[in-house]
């Protein structure tokens, strides 16, 4: 199923670039500056042709929450990606799409996407401007065709005007739809947690949080790197001896990528349970227990998770507790409740 969508994705990419080599229909004046926090590195996505505007962001938001993008008009992107959970899905291990069909992975959080160098747990998609092609056409997610979406949007009573206001074209095409979604997703920025306030010198941690932060730096931040709390690499973090989902290996076919998944950000981690690509853990305590004592030694296990010659980080119960106290400072309540992000 997945493989199929990657093939579609390639076809889609070819289609987009073949038909429209030059984007002469960009928004004339970018009257909206994307939020790029001063303590973050430069964003990966720079909007070269897809110029930002408030209207473009709002159009992307409308599309994101509109079930018209699915085959039977029942599922929107927002059905799985929910703002109060940092645009992840909660209490659901594997995603649920059209007709209640179950996917193969947990719905990840969506924010700070402008810094992502790749998308999906296995990094199978590398461009935010084509990323939605996968969920839109996946048979267990939204199961629609791009041509039918474009058809529905052009016949809709509001979309033709809304698209025209942003892209100044007489009719809607697939590229405009992808661009609008990219404008929305790349401007969901989460950077105002307690962690950020400490990072920028505005406040300080409690004693236990500070201990947790120090332990985090010793044990976790080689992969969950500050300040975005991921280095965007792919690692096998020792979940299984045998992987039913081979992860990054599906894309690269390299043995060292067997069971490797994209290092997820830990920002807002307290509100995005369950955890890992297959949602196997429901609590942070279970996650810490895994890193402490349950890491499985396999040939592709990251050497960063082997300590004193044995797999695992060998953290005491008190160390685990303190790391969790630190992880809770990564919750950005302002972002989770911010007005104007959800339709």
Q: CA-to-CA distance for 280 and 63, rounded, in angstroms? A: 31
Q: Which is nearer to ligand HEC, 21 or 91 (CB)?
A: 91
- Cβ at position 277, least distance to ligand HEC in Å: 4
Q: Which is nearer to ligand HEC, 99 or 158 (CB)?
A: 99
Q: Which is nearer to ligand HEC, 12 or 135 (CB)?
A: 135
- Cβ at position 36, least distance to ligand HEC in Å: 18
- Cβ at position 22, least distance to ligand HEC in Å: 25
Q: Residues 222, 248, 101, CA angle at the centre, nearest 5°?
A: 115
Q: Which is nearer to ligand HEC, 28 or 100 (CB)?
A: 100
Sign of CA pseudo-dihedral 104, 6, 13, 112: positive
Q: CA-to-CA distance for 52 and 162, rounded, in angstroms? A: 15
- Cβ at position 305, least distance to ligand HEC in Å: 5
Cβ atoms of 147 and 172 closer than 8 Å: no
- Cβ at position 77, least distance to ligand HEC in Å: 3
Q: Which is nearer to ligand HEC, 175 or 237 (CB)?
A: 237
Summarize as ranges the residues that interact with ligand HEC (CB under 6 A): 64, 69, 75, 77, 79-81, 95-97, 103, 105, 107-108, 110, 113, 116, 119-121, 131-132, 135-136, 141-142, 181, 185, 219-220, 222-224, 235, 237, 239, 261, 263-264, 266, 269, 272, 275-277, 287, 291, 302, 304-305, 313, 323
Q: CA-to-CA distance for 334 and 196, rounded, in angstroms? A: 12
Q: CA-to-CA distance for 114 and 116, rounded, in angstroms? A: 6
- Cβ at position 138, least distance to ligand HEC in Å: 8
- Cβ at position 147, least distance to ligand HEC in Å: 15
Q: Which is nearer to ligand HEC, 16 or 239 (CB)?
A: 239
Burial class (CB in 10 A: 0-12, 13-18, 19+), 337: exposed
Q: Which is nearer to ligand HEC, 170 or 241 (CB)?
A: 241
Of 296, 300, 289, nearest to 310 (Cα)?
A: 296
Residue 163, both tokens: 């698209």
Name 313's Cβ contacts closer than 8 Å, sequence gap at least 6.
219, 291, 292, 295, 305, 307
């Amino acid at each position: 199923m997945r493989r199929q969508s990657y093939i579609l994705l390639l076809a889609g990419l070819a289609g987009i670039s073949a038909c429209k080599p030059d984007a002469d229909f960009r928004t004339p004046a970018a009257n909206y500056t994307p939020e790029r926090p001063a303590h973050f590195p430069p964003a990966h996505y720079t909007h070269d042709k897809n110029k930002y505007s408030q209207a473009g962001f709002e159009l992307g938001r409308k599309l994101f929450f509109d079930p018209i993008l699915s085959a039977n008009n029942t599922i929107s992107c927002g059905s799985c990606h929910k703002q109060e959970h940092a645009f992840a899905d909660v209490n659901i291990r594997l995603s649920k799409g059209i007709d209640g069909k179950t996917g193969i992975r947990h719905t990840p959080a969506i924010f700070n996407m402008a810094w992502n160098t790749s998308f999906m747990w296995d990094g199978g998609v590398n461009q935010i401007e084509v990323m939605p092609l996968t969920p839109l056409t996946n048979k267990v997610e939204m199961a629609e065709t791009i041509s039918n979406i474009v058809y529905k949007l052009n016949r809709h009573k509001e979309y033709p005007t809304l698209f025209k206001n942003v892209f100044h074209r007489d009719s809607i095409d697939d590229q405009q739809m992808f661009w609008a979604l990219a404008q929305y997703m790349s401007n969901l920025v989460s950077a105002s947690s307690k962690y950020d306030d400490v990072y920028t010198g505005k406040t300080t941690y409690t004693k236990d949080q500070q201990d947790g932060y120090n332990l985090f730096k010793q044990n976790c931040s080689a992969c969950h790197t500050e300040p975005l709390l991921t280095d965007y690499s792919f690692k096998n973090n020792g979940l299984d001896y045998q992987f039913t989902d081979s992860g990054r290996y599906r894309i690269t076919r390299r043995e060292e990528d067997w069971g490797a998944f994209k290092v997820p950000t830990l920002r807002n981690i307290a509100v995005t349970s369950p955890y890992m690509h297959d949602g196997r853990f429901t609590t942070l305590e279970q996650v810490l227990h895994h890193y402490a004592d349950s890491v499985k030694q396999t040939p592709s296990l990251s050497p960063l998770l082997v300590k004193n010659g044995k797999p695992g980080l060998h953290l005491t119960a008190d160390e685990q507790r303190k790391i969790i106290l630190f992880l809770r400072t990564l919750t950005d309540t302002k972002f989770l409740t911010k007005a104007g992000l959800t339709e």
